[in-house]
Amino acid sequence: MTPNKAAHDATVPATEATLASRRARLVAVALLVGAMTVGVSGCAQEGSQYLGRWEHRGTMFNGDNSSALDITRDGETWLVTVYDPPTSTEPAKRMAADYVDGHLTVAGPPAATITYLESEDAILAGAATFTRVAN
């Protein structure tokens, strides 16, 4: 056996062991990332249908009653920001909300329950229906 062949044979098992070790680490990292994704998305999904900007457009006998809602969440804290009219850059009101039994409950004033209407991708707040605004 030549010295080069002996050196080559000595490195091949080390290379295969290195590749196997890398594969094992990649599989472990992939499993960890997958578990974290499932865990985070499971937490993020509850109530996520409410998040975003919603608008109600309508008129009544006393004029325009259009408004917009921005619904945000930071952990367990929900915030409903009202813009009246929807084009306003200054919020008319900010209210804390609780996510309970699939609904958002705003203590107010005025107190309200916000319900997501899955078939319409809309929310119902009081008697007003709000439609989602594309981002």
Let me know the angle formed at the C-alpha of 74 by 72 and 80, rounded to the nearest 5 degrees: 30
Predicted local distance difference test score (pLDDT) of residue 63: 61
Long-range contacts of 22-31 (CB under 8 A, 24+ apart): none
Tokens 């608008």 — which residue?
55
Give the strand pairing for 77-83 and 67-74.
antiparallel
Q: What is the pLDDT of residue 133?
A: 93
Confidence of residue 110 (pLDDT cuts 50, 70, 90): confident
Model confidence over 62-92: pLDDT tens digits?
566 789 999 999 988 999 999 988 888 999 9
Contacts of 72 (CB under 8 A, 6+ apart): 51, 78, 79, 81
- Beta carbons within 10 angstroms of residue 71's beta carbon: 21
DSSP state, residue 15: H
Query: Cα–Cα distance between 32 and 51 in angstroms, integer?
Result: 28
pLDDT on residue 130: 95
Nearest partner of 87 among 110, 53, 51, 115, judged by Cα: 53
The residues spanned by each domain of the chain are 1-45, 48-132
pLDDT confidence of residue 14: 55
